[in-house]
Amino acid sequence: MDNYVKNVSEISESSILNKVMARVFMLMTLALGVTGAASYFIMANENLMMTLLSNINIFYVLCGAELLLVFILSMTINNISFNAALIMFALYSIVNGVTLAPLLFMFTEESVVSTFLITAGTFGAMALFGYTTKSNLSSIGKILMMALIGLIIASIVNIFLNSSGLGMILNYAGVLIFVGLTAYDTQKVKAYIQEAIENDSVSIPKLAVISALTLYLDFINLFIRLLSILGKRK
């Protein structure tokens, strides 16, 4: 009887885990839709597009707002309500869509769409691997995080060097890093949610939001790197 109860409990927890993970990916997908809509709105409005392209200070302010939103959401997730977390995630998705508009404007619509589909397929495959693999990806994740820090530093340096060759190398490196991070973050998110379920935590809905943000960032960064490599400029 004890084994039966234990098996039923495990099945129930597994079912809850699958439902929460489905919510995570749904939130991530909705956020991507909001980002795409915001980018399209900016590109469709010539005055707004020209304002962004002609005033770099606005772009820097928007980038600062993105970093601030991510920082606040990450630091206050345990103290704010689910609705507040959801609103902040939505705001971030909108602002990110605005900052992406100038980049997307540089490429043809066909290459943007095809690169998005390639990103979606790659992301989906790596997320599935991260979710189903029995291997512990923690050690790989630590290496990837260090590589990401190096990538950020090198990218900042290349702003001043303006080297197209170094930029292409960084793009290829970025693809490899975010492909790996997609699998690692998916496994990490699964472990966090599983732990929350086992502890009967009331923070699961908010955990779903912050988890969706993590995977959203992996998707967006992978898309940007692939677009820089595969995209056809106007």
Closest by CA position to 94, among listed 37, 164, 155: 37
According to the model, what pLDDT value does residue 200 have? 63
Q: What is d(CA 1, CA 179) in angstroms, rounded to the nearest whole number?
A: 45
User: Which residues of the chain have a pLDDT value below 50?
Assistant: 1-9
According to the model, what pLDDT value does residue 36 have? 96
Q: What is the pLDDT of residues 61-82, one digit of tens each?
A: 998 999 999 999 989 988 899 9
pTM: 0.90
Take residue 80 and report the two structure tokens written for it: 């704010």
Beta pairing partners, 107: 233
According to the model, what pLDDT value does residue 167 have? 92
Evaluate whether 231 touches 115 at the Cβ level (below 8 Å).
Answer: yes
Closest by CA position to 190, among listed 25, 5, 9, 52: 25
According to the model, what pLDDT value does residue 14 have? 80
According to the model, what pLDDT value does residue 4 have? 35
Cβ neighbors of 155 (< 8 A, separation 6 or more) are 170
Beta pairing partners, 233: 107
Q: What is d(CA 81, CA 69) in angstroms, rounded to the nearest whole number?
A: 15
According to the model, what pLDDT value does residue 8 have? 37
According to the model, what pLDDT value does residue 86 have? 94
Helix (H, G, I), strand (E, B) or coil at 78: coil
Cβ neighbors of 219 (< 8 A, separation 6 or more) are 28, 32, 119, 120, 123, 182
Evaluate whether 205 touches 86 at the Cβ level (below 8 Å).
Answer: no
Evaluate whether 2 touches 60 at the Cβ level (below 8 Å).
Answer: no
How distant, in Å, are the alpha carbons of 66, 147, 150, 233 from that of 228?
A: 21, 19, 19, 9
